[in-house]
Amino acid sequence: MMMMCGRSLLPALCTFLLFHTAISQKCPAQCGPCPDEPPNCAPDVPIVLDGCACCPVCARQQGERCSEVMPCQEDLGLYCDFSAEPQGDVGICMVLEGGKCVFNGALYNDGETFQPSCKYHCTCQDGQIGCVPRCNLDLQLPGPDCPFPRKVTVPGECCEKWVCDSKEEVAFGGFAMAGKISVILICKQT
pLDDT in tens, 149-182: 888 988 998 888 888 887 655 555 544 443 344 4
Whether pTM exceeds 0.75: no
User: Do residues 126 and 184 both lie within one domain?
Assistant: no
97: amino acid identity, one letter: E
Rounded distance between C-alpha atoms, residue 51 and residue 11, angstroms: 16
User: Do residues 14 and 106 both lie within one domain?
Assistant: yes
| Torsion sign (Cα): 12, 80, 75, 109 | negative
Return the CATH number at 8. Answer: 4.10.40.20
**Tally of domains within the chain:** 2
Name the domain boundary from 93, 116, 133.
133
Range of the domain at 43: 3-133
User: Do residues 29 and 119 both lie within one domain?
Assistant: yes
